[in-house]
Structure 1
Amino acid sequence: MTVPAGAALALANAIAVVIPSYKVTRHILGVIEGIGPEATRIYVVDDKCPDGSGAFVREHCRDPRVVVLEHAENQGVGGAVMTGYRAAIADGAKVIVKIDGDGQMDGSLLPNFVAPILAGEADYTKGNRFFNLERIGAMPPMRLFGNAILSLMAKLSSGYWDLFDPTNGYTAIHADAARFLPFDKISKRYFFESDMLFRLNILGAVVVDVPMDAVYGDEVSNLKISKIVTEFFSKHVRNFGKRLFYNYYLRNMSVASIELPLGIFLTCFGAGYGISHWIASARSGISTPAGTVMLAALPVIMGVQLILAFLAHDVASVPRRPLHKKTLYRSSNSGSK
């Protein structure tokens, strides 16, 4: 009997799919049907869905690959994905793909997300709906604007300057990289995808964008931009601070570790000095001396240059060597001793 190419790939590499399920009963069966034979196991995680999606899948789905997991309490998309990750790792999966259950993600693209990981080029892949400029028009304007702003904040907080579309939920991860994730600390709600990037950067994992087109139908998004703007901003600032401390002071020290604080100090000092003298000059009606202007301008110029130098170093420091290769190397060395 001839084994289909997709099935052979699955047998060799154990690809699992995790589908968080919450209010997606209308689409979940279609999502499962769209997943090809390259996947060996499909975990549907019922996140205390009010529609009983877990029971619905058990009753109507006949795919033998499907395993339904249920939460006693709603944990959010992040919590559901972590439950799926744990189950997939325990069952021996090599690559774990996460697909939303609302029908916006094309299951036939799964091989595109898995290929860079199996080729040893990445630890984590994620979708990018902005790659094809001809198809961006299909995205609702509010989502387009919101994703552009969120992408800029995510670049700063995660350190992955070469990525875009950080809230994209179509992802895949190597199991050896997933094992190092602090499952209990990762954000469980809508900040999950952005927090994953921050955690992966701290681990030194290689992340790659995969071009894709979003599908917008009659699904209703549970994400309200107006409610998450301030939450996302504060969490991005927190993660940015943590990343700087971990990567530039706790685990490593370089010239960039000095450039940023010195640049901020000089910029603030020059701006404060200049503003105070400008106010005093305006009140007294006496022109500010040229020397005073230079004393204010020079620290600002130097400070901005130092901050730009730090950013250039940070952009160049994006992880390039896959984490799962490092762990494999360490495991083989420890086994040979």
Structure 2
Amino acid sequence: MKIAVAIPCYKVTQHVLGVISAIGPQVHAIYAVDDACPQDSGRFIEEHNHDPRVHVLYNLENRGVGGAMVTAYRAAMADDMDIVVKIDGDGQMDPALLPFFVHPLLQGKADYTKGNRFFRPESVQGMPPIRLFGNAVLSFMTKLSCGYWNVMDPTNGYTAIRTCVLAELPLDKLERRYFFETDMLFRLNTLRAVVRDVPMDSVYADEESNLKVGKVLPEFLRKHASRLWRRYVYNYLIRDFNVGSLYSIFGALLVLAGTVFGTIRWLDSTLSHNPATSGTVMLAALPILIGIQFLIAFLHYDVSNVPTEPLSQSLDRSAREEQ
């Protein structure tokens, strides 16, 4: 299979040449995407790079990491590449790890691989505590909204994907900026693609992050809630109606009914100064307790429903049959 590397380039002129030089001979093409970089990184690479595998692509306006990756993905598919590996140009992703990301794809065991800096305790020793906590929270939110309960570190940008799976994704609808990696997981889940984590260590260079937590947190919460709802509707109401659908519907209705009844009876008791009877309390509490049990059962069903059969295998079979 032909392997390509995509490098989004934005303020990375200090490190990008070193990243390119460290990419091994197993890679057939390298796409460096100048995302309207104020340092003119595309021109810088063209003037100083001597690797014939490098193709410099330009976005006329800044589209964020997602926009840069879509440009590289389209170029890789046009050049008939089979796998595209994303490596940032800031020196925080070791190109020597590339074979570990590609191997599950070559073996037909996954459609998409991504880095996980939380796999080994030693890997997070250099990570700032606030960043460690933030990634843990984001990981749980992503498990809920995207359905991949077996992955961690969702904001990790070191990824690899089969182009046959890319062809099934709505590239024009992918998030363009900081939510790109999470949106990729959401889109992959709608295809039932298999995602696997690849252990890696965290490395911090001298690049300054443009991510402002206070600014993006409300946006992240809104987008996670939106994808959670859309995933639920796709998987449990439209695409299939299964026991998980029943658990979730009855659970939500019971909790709602118990809460509404209990609230009404509590207000009535407060206004009339008559304490509620034990039977009334049980009538309010019992639906809530049973509903919570139903919702826990739904969560257990959702966790067990993570995709396990790689989509690329069926796509490869279909391609062979057409030939």
Please, what TM-score do these two structures have when normalized by structure 1?
Answer: 0.93
Residue of 220, 231, 250 corresponding to 2:208: 220
The aligned residue for residue 5 of structure 2 is 17
- Report the 3-state secondary structure (helix = DSSP H, G, I; strand = E; otherwise coil) of the residue aligned with 2:125: helix
Measure, in 2, the Cα distance between the counterparts of 1:16 and 1:112.
15
The aligned residue for residue 230 of structure 2 is 242
Measure, in 2, the Cα distance between the counterparts of 1:272 and 1:101.
54
- TM-superposition CA deviations, 1:71-93 (whole Å, max 9, x none): 11111100100110110111111
Which residues of structure 1 form unaligned runs of 5+?
1-12
Measure, in 1, the Cα distance between the counterparts of 2:281 and 2:294.
20
Measure, in 2, the Cα distance between the counterparts of 1:243 and 1:166.
17
Following TM superposition, where does structure 1 have runs of at least 4 consecutive aligned residues deviating by more than 6 angstroms?
none
The aligned residue for residue 78 of structure 2 is 90
The aligned residue for residue 250 of structure 2 is 262
**Aligned positions of 1:7-156 closer than 5 A:** 13-156=1-144
How many pairs were matched up?
Answer: 323
The aligned residue for residue 317 of structure 2 is 329
- TM-superposition CA deviations, 1:154-174 (whole Å, max 9, x none): 001110001110000000001
Note if contact 1:157-1:240 (Cα within 8 Å) is conserved in structure 2: yes
Measure, in 2, the Cα distance between the counterparts of 1:86 and 1:73.
17
Note if contact 1:146-1:225 (Cα within 8 Å) is conserved in structure 2: no
Measure, in 2, the Cα distance between the counterparts of 1:135 and 1:123.
25
- TM-superposition CA deviations, 1:144-187 (whole Å, max 9, x none): 11111111110011100011100000000011111111000010
Measure, in 2, the Cα distance between the counterparts of 1:217 and 1:331.
43
Note if contact 2:33-2:42 (Cα within 8 Å) is conserved in structure 1: yes
Shift of 1:298: 1.1
Greater mean deviation of Cα atoms: 107-116 or 254-263: 254-263
- Report the 3-state secondary structure (helix = DSSP H, G, I; strand = E; otherwise coil) of the residue aligned with 1:26: coil
Measure, in 2, the Cα distance between the counterparts of 1:145 and 1:32.
32
Which residues of structure 2 form unaligned runs of 5+?
none
**Aligned positions of 1:298-313 closer than 5 A:** 298-313=286-301
- The reply on whether 1:229 has 2:217 as its aligned counterpart is yes
Note if contact 1:48-1:73 (Cα within 8 Å) is conserved in structure 2: yes
CA RMSD between the two structures: 1.1
Measure, in 1, the Cα distance between the counterparts of 2:250 and 2:21.
56
